[in-house]
Amino acid sequence: MGFGGISIWQLLIILAIVLVLFGTKRLKNIGSDLGGAFKGFKKAMGDEDKKPEESEPQKLEKADEKVIEGEAVKEQDKQKQ
C-alpha cells in the first residue's frame, strides 16, 4: 500500500505517462520555475523579518514634521477681497 491506497506501481505508471506527455525538458523548466518561486518567497519572508519596526511615537513625530498649516479659501472669496 502506498499513498492513500495507490501502490508504487500505479505511481510509476502515472510518472511514465507524465514524462511521455510533457517531456523531460518541459518538466525540468517547470521544476526550475517552481524552485525560483520558492526561493523568492523565502527571501521576501526573510527580508520582512529583518526590517526594524518603528514604534508609534516615532511615526507620529515624523508625521508632525510633514504637516502644512494653512487656510483653505475658495476662488470666489479671493476675488471679493
- What residues contact 19, with CB distance under 8 A and at least 6 apart? 27
DSSP state of 5: T
Q: What is the reported pLDDT for 3?
A: 62
3-class secondary-structure state, position 1: coil
Residues lower than pLDDT 70 in the chain: 1-3, 48-67, 77-81
Phi and psi at 72, nearest 5°, equal -85, 130
Q: What is the reported pLDDT for 53?
A: 54
Domain-embedded: residue 28:
yes
* pTM summary value: 0.39
Domain-embedded: residue 32:
yes
Query: CA-CA distances (angstroms) from residue 16 to 21, 30, 34, 53?
Result: 9, 17, 21, 51
Domain-embedded: residue 10:
no
Domain-embedded: residue 66:
no
Q: Which three cell numbers stand for residue 36?
A: 525560483
